[in-house]
Amino acid sequence: MARKRMIDPSFWIDEKLGTVQPIVRLLFMGLISQADDEGRLNGHPSLIKSLIFPYDHEIQLHEVEEWLNLLAAEERKLIRRYEVDHQKYIMITNFKKHQTINKPQKSKLPPPNDDYRSTTVVVPEREGMTTAQKKGREEKRNEEEEKGKGIELLSLPSSNLHEDHLLKILNDHHISMDKPYPLDQFFSYIGVVDLEVMEAAIKKSSGKRIAYCLGTLEGMVKDGITKKEHLKPKVGEQSEKSQGQIRHGQSTPEDKPITGGKTGALPSKWADKVIQLSNVSG
């Protein structure tokens, strides 16, 4: 668990930090405050963004990713990024050297592997995806490659924009993102189901944990709800549909028999005769 930390005065004149933007220095301070007593913390960019920049919706995930890589770059080595069992972690270099901790608690997070050599980890394709998810992701990638021909390589992939959009909704509905793996799995459905379906799962899980939200989405997919058209129509939309049926002389489930109770819409075969009788009587 994160505890109160100290910022050494030398922090402000450190040449390694002086070569990066002020926002990157702020991110590094945030990492120090969120790290456990051994300088480790979960390292998924989405989780880092929600912990350190919870109100800065203009900050995008790809920016957090770039800033973390700057801190982990060979010329700085201020942090180490690594993965264990497909989960991302960060360890702050020389954390114990700059922090005086009374009664330190043992970290619950795994350390880097002994064969760790690179400060920047190349993250592989998300593991544990179903066949449908992998197929949807491949189709989405092919579409983006077709649209992206002739565009600069630094252009932002649409998946990052979707993740930022969903992360904002997760925050708005107070979804607790205490573990990075369920969030990673939740984002893996981007391109597999419509965003509206993912938004509906978030709203149903308001105030819950991200694991609950993931389970809700998986349950909806299992029930065949993958398109926005599969979601139940709103009350206003259903009412408008019923009014449209009445205007065209069609009966609706709410219509009553014309001989008793509240009068509903007349069947079309009787409507013509009523019009004819009205003309004669007129």
User: What's the whole-number mean pLDDT along residues 243-272?
Assistant: 49
d(CA 228, CA 222): 15
- pLDDT over threshold 50, residue 256: no
Res 66: pLDDT: 94
Closest among 99, 85, 87 to 35, alpha carbons compared = 99
- pLDDT over threshold 90, residue 114: no
> All domains of the chain, ordered by start, with CATH?
9-98 (1.10.10.10), 131-230 (no CATH)
pTM for the structure as a whole = 0.45
- Cα Rg for the chain, rounded, in angstroms? 28
Res 272: pLDDT: 54
Residues 148 and 180 sit within 8 Å (Cβ to Cβ): no
d(CA 267, CA 73): 75
pLDDT grade, residue 119 (50/70/90)?
A: very low
pLDDT grade, residue 236 (50/70/90)?
A: low
| Weakest mean pLDDT among 85-99, 113-127, 267-281 | 113-127
| Weakest mean pLDDT among 24-33, 44-53, 229-238, 242-251 | 242-251
pLDDT in tens, 192-230: 888 899 999 999 999 998 889 989 998 888 888 888 888
